[in-house]
Amino acid sequence: MSDSAISVAKEFVRAINRQNVDTLAALMTTDHRFTDSLGNTVGGREAMRAGWAGYFGMVPDYSLAIEETFADGSVVVMLGMAQGTMSGQAGPAPGNRWQTPIAIRARIEDGLVAEWRVFADNEPIRALMRNS
């Protein structure tokens, strides 16, 4: 199962990097759970479809650069960097670019992402939000 779990998790990352909300939703279980680095959890595929669309509106070039991937059965852990440019009044501006280390824990069920949990230092983007 680990190889297919890794494949699903990597496909989810590719969809994030393309900001493809429809593909992300297609890769989620109906009861998908997303937990951010502050411990906030959103449940349900359709809620997360809206969540990803909103996030890509705020950070239109958001992407993940995964450097290491580990799996144990249906659980995949990915380590790397998250980056993007915060949109301002006139759209993304070079001064609003941020990057931070990230760890992701994904749980895969029947070829779909049942859980996506992010561990990251969100201070770089929070600082940009405070200053805008």
Tell which residue, 102, 82, 81, 74, has the closest CA to residue 7.
Answer: 74
- 3-state class (DSSP) for residue 110: coil
- No. of H helices and E strands in the chain? 4, 6
Q: Give the per-residue pLDDT at 125.
A: 67
Block means of pLDDT (10 residues each) for the chain, 132 residues, are: 85 98 98 95 97 94 97 97 81 77 97 97 68 62
pTM over 0.75: yes
What's the sign of the alpha-carbon dihedral 10, 78, 51, 27?
A: positive
Domains annotated on the chain, with CATH: 2-131 (3.10.450.50)
CA distance 58 to 130: 14
